[in-house]
Structure 1
Amino acid sequence: MDTISIAPTDRSPLVEFDFSQGRFRLEGESYPENSASFFAPLLAALRAFLESDDTRPVSFDLAMTYFNSSSAKALMNMFQMLEDAGARGREVVVNWHFHPDDDTMEEFGEDFGLDFENAAFRMRPTPKT
């Protein structure tokens, strides 16, 4: 599977999906004009990877500064796929990076983390550089 790299824009996040390493990253703001069309290929690629015979551990890093409700739905779909992969025995770690002064992103991370039982969800306070 080819790596997916998408540069950030004013309305969409940086995307780095490195399937060969099992490393995935979303970073920045996410409120694209059409969230469904932005996230659909990412969701399809992630699903194909997680449902493949590949058993390497998965690390998913998120450093979001803002996202709208449509993007939140896409994130929840990704998280469900990761949780399902963990339930099938795959090692999955989700790292939720947030600035310590950003209570909103911290609370979103805490809320998302409640849904994880089979994949590790780690809160990572990360000062801005």
Structure 2
Amino acid sequence: MKPLHLTATKSTPEVWFEPESNILRFLGQSYPENAFKFYEPIFGWVDECLKQLEDQALTIEMQLPYINTSSTKCIMMMLEKFDEAHSEGKRVALNWYYDPENENELECAEEFKEDLSLPFRIIPKAAE
């Protein structure tokens, strides 16, 4: 699988994948003016990644303190791709990290988890 790295901006998360680790990370805020424009190339990368995923496991790690409505839709579309791969027998799991002091962050993760069947852990971040 090919690497992916998008640098975070004020309104978009860092997106990082290195084939050696098989961990896809999303870190930061997500409220771009055009969420679909930001996430569309990631959708294409995810499709290719899932086609190539055979015996190895893929872990998705998310830490998104704030997500606007249009980003929520895009993230759900992406998570549905992972969920479908899981239902086809691919080893895909999601770890969602949240700040225990941010109730909205926890609620957001719980709402995503409700609609998915893949292994989905909601993990409080340790205090820094």
The alignment covers a number of residue pairs equal to 128
* Structure 1 match to 2:126: 127
Q: Could you list the per-position Cα deviations for residues 49-108 of structure 1 after superposition, in whole angstroms to 9, with x for gaps in the alignment?
A: 112353310100000010111110111011101111110111111001000111101011
**Runs of 5+ in structure 1 lacking a partner?**
none
Question: Which segment drifts farther, 48-57 or 63-72?
Answer: 48-57
* Structure 1 match to 2:67: 67
Residue type matched to 1:57 in 2? Answer: A
- Matched residue SS, 2:115: coil
- Matched residue SS, 1:100: coil
* Structure 1 match to 2:110: 110
RMSD of equivalent CA atoms: 1.4
Work out the CA distance in 1 between the residues paired with 2:104 and 2:50.
Answer: 30
Work out the CA distance in 2 between the residues paired with 1:53 and 1:64.
Answer: 25
Identity of aligned residues (%): 27
**Runs of 5+ in structure 2 lacking a partner?**
none
Give the deviation of 1:47 after TM superposition.
1.2
Give the deviation of 1:122 after TM superposition.
0.2
Q: Give me the TM-score of the superposition, normalised by structure 2.
A: 0.92
Q: Is the 8 A contact 1:39 1:74 kept in 2?
A: yes
